[in-house]
Amino acid sequence: MDLRIRRNKKGIIFTIISIVIAIFFTIVFSARIEKPIDYKSFLIETRVNTLSDYMSNFFDYTRDATRVSGYSAFQGLIQDINNTHRYYNETDEFESNYTYCLRTGNLTDSKICPNMTNRTLPYYLNYIRDTVNKEMNIKSNYTINSITINQTIDAFAIELTVNITLKINDAYANLTDTRLVASPVPIEGLPDPLFIVNGSYNQNISEYKFRTEGDWNETDLASLYYNHSYRAYINGISFINRIKGNFTPSIYGIESFVNYTNVTYNESHSLVDYLFWRNITSNCSNSSSEGKVVVGINITTFPPKVSTNQYFQLDEDHRASFIRSGGTVFTCPQT
Amino acid sequence: MNKRGAYFFVIDAMIASSIIFLSLIIIFTTYSIIPETNPAVRMAEDYTEYLINTRIRPYDIPDTYIHNLTNDGNITNLDNTFLQQLTEFYFLNYSGQRNTTGIMASYIAEISKGVIPKQRSFAVYMNNDSLYAWIDMNQQEDAQLMIIAKKIAFKRINDTYIFGPVMLEVRIWI
């Protein structure tokens, strides 16, 4: 009897041990199901990454928005030049009016910048800020600290540099960053202020893209002329100086040629735009010891003007850059 | 008597083993059916980063769909990123210039090959418009786990117009 009870007790002990082991494993593995203390850190990390991405996107968008808004501001400013027929020739007039137009859509406190409705830089930046607030619940604000205008790289692009600060306020992180965002604003397609103020017809700027290296030749001259294109020319007048009415040569200068069939000129005129429209003349006589000489271009692509029998004319510097020898005639009798 | 004792111990051991075995089954089953969110979130984030940072040019390989799009003039700038190109297609469709819904769906399918595993359903939306969906098993409404990654997309169309920002949404679900 005792032996039977002892055996039954052993069975109970084994059962208890197995239950204890089962409970032990249950507790151990259940602990793994529970969320760890730092379970939220991944979500926070994801949110902070989202905020960081937005910051990066905002500055990228600012670059594109500056380019688009900058181009529109040039259109507005040139429209104003067209209305007033005067250059922005007062000290800092161009810089202050242009940046004010970019920021507010006005040239001055009392004068609107044409064509800038819904095209100012703050309009675009407000749009991305509000969209992101609505779609991603990210609250942010920006401050445009300054806008500077330069031309240091390309004759056919103006560089706008925007100093801008973005602040993001979020439950998980507050981020602030100030960056200089540089945008090249192309001048392709913009009306040339020189033609507007001094010319008898208007012409849009179009870069000549068929020659990027090597020497210019007669074919280039004809193509430039007949396509009303512009080339970068180290002694030409830059686009900004054309707005300012400042005709100092610039390494970012550009030039085109005046349509000789549309204008009246004499034997001393070179038909380079900034020389002709400003009525800057040169000698037509080779015997003169001073100044440049103007010559007529006598090649098949430039037939003489029917009404006056005058040739297309260039000063010697420009003639030499396209035509090495021959193909020229004097525009007045040589003594 | 000894035989009966042996039976008792064997049965007892079997009961104990069953308890342990069942406990382990319950524990592991419960543990394994909880979907892991982190890898899915990473997958969605990685996929959107891939769209944002990958340029088309290296993928312009003969006899591929991308190359066909380049040849027939639908892709004009190989330096666009995948997302910029998708935004451009969307703009063309959105502005009514051209119906690009088919192009967008095929384009997303092509650039997503091998990036999202076939065992994951995923869909791409722009401005809440569905552009593409790959459904493995469950429809979106039956998903056990759904991860949504949102990114900002925009594209400068010309010198005077920027399209966007619009929201790109990538949904991955199980």
SS3 A113: coil
B60 and B135: one domain?
A: yes
By a Cβ cutoff of 8 Å, what residues of chain A touch chain B?
Answer: 7-8, 10-11, 14-15, 17-19, 21-22, 25-26, 29-30, 32-33, 42, 46, 49-50, 53-54, 57, 61, 64-65, 67-68, 71-72, 75, 119, 124, 127-128, 131-132, 135-136, 186, 188-189
pLDDT surpassing 70 at residue A160: yes
pLDDT surpassing 80 at residue A335: no
Min distance A15 CA to chain B CA atoms (Å): 6
pLDDT surpassing 60 at residue A246: yes
Domain count, chain B: 2
In tens, the pLDDT along B64-85 reads 899 999 999 999 999 999 999 9
A80-84, A116-120, A293-297, B147-151: the lowest-pLDDT one: A293-297
B30 and B41: one domain?
A: no
In tens, the pLDDT along A100-136 reads 999 999 999 999 999 899 999 999 999 999 999 999 9
Min distance B59 CA to chain A CA atoms (Å): 24
pLDDT surpassing 70 at residue A290: no
Residues of B in contact with A189 (CB under 8 A): 159
Q: Give the Cα separation of B93 and A286 in Å (integer).
A: 64
pLDDT mean across residues, chain A: 88
Q: Is A25 in contact with B24 (Cβ distance < 8 A)?
A: yes
A56-60, A132-136, A227-231, A327-331: the lowest-pLDDT one: A327-331
B68 and B101: one domain?
A: yes
B14 and B81: one domain?
A: no
Phi-psi region of A323 (alpha: psi -120 to 50; beta: other; left: phi over 0): beta
Q: Which of the pair, A4 or B99, is modelled with greater confidence?
A: B99
Residues of A in contact with B8 (CB under 8 A): 7-8, 11
Min distance A16 CA to chain B CA atoms (Å): 9
Q: Give the Cα separation of A190 and A204 in Å (integer).
A: 5
pLDDT mean across residues, chain B: 86
Q: Is B12 in contact with A15 (Cβ distance < 8 A)?
A: yes
Query: Chain B residue with minimal CA distance to A185?
Result: B159
Q: Give the Cα separation of A147 and A96 in Å (integer).
A: 10
pLDDT, residue A332, reads: 78
The tokens describing A253, both together, are: 């200068």
pLDDT surpassing 70 at residue A36: no
pLDDT surpassing 60 at residue A1: no
pLDDT surpassing 80 at residue A5: no
Of B5, B156, B167, the CB nearest to A135: B167
Q: Is B154 in contact with A124 (Cβ distance < 8 A)?
A: no
CB B139 within 8 A of CB B146: no
B73 and B100: one domain?
A: yes
Q: Which of the pair, A123 or A311, is modelled with greater confidence?
A: A123
Where residue B127 falls among pLDDT bands split at 50, 70, 90? very high
The size of chain B, in residues, is 174
Q: Is A7 in contact with B8 (Cβ distance < 8 A)?
A: yes
> What percent of chain A lies above the pLDDT cut of 90?
58
Q: Is B162 in contact with A68 (Cβ distance < 8 A)?
A: yes
In tens, the pLDDT along A169-205 reads 998 889 999 999 999 999 999 999 999 999 999 999 9
Of B24, B37, B161, the CB nearest to A68: B161
Please name which of A232, A207, A192 lies closest in space to residue A321, comparing C-alpha atoms: A232
Q: Which domain holds residue B30?
A: 1-34
pLDDT, residue A37, reads: 62
B66 and B143: one domain?
A: yes
A319-333, B68-82, B119-133: the lowest-pLDDT one: A319-333
Give residue for tokens 């609505």. A134
pLDDT, residue A4, reads: 58
B152 and B115: one domain?
A: yes
B109 and B128: one domain?
A: yes
- Over residues A245-273, the mean pLDDT reads 91
B30 and B44: one domain?
A: no
Tell whether the torsion through CA atoms of B157, B162, B166 and B168 is positive or negative.
positive
A–B: how many Cβ contacts below 8 A? Answer: 90
* Helix (H) or strand (E) segment spanning residue B33: none
B109 and B23: one domain?
A: no
Q: Give the Cα separation of B6 and A60 in Å (integer).
A: 81
B69 and B116: one domain?
A: yes
Min distance A135 CA to chain B CA atoms (Å): 8
Q: Give the Cα separation of A203 and A198 in Å (integer).
A: 12
pLDDT, residue B82, reads: 94
Q: pTM of the entire structure?
A: 0.81
Q: Which of the pair, A24 or A246, is modelled with greater confidence?
A: A246
pLDDT surpassing 70 at residue A25: yes
CB A179 within 8 A of CB A149: no
Residues of A in contact with B23 (CB under 8 A): 22, 25-26
Sorted by where each begins, the domain ranges of chain A are 41-186, 193-330
Where residue B30 falls among pLDDT bands split at 50, 70, 90? low
Residues of B in contact with A65 (CB under 8 A): 162
B91 and B136: one domain?
A: yes
* Helix (H) or strand (E) segment spanning residue B4: helix B2-32
Residues of A in contact with B161 (CB under 8 A): 68
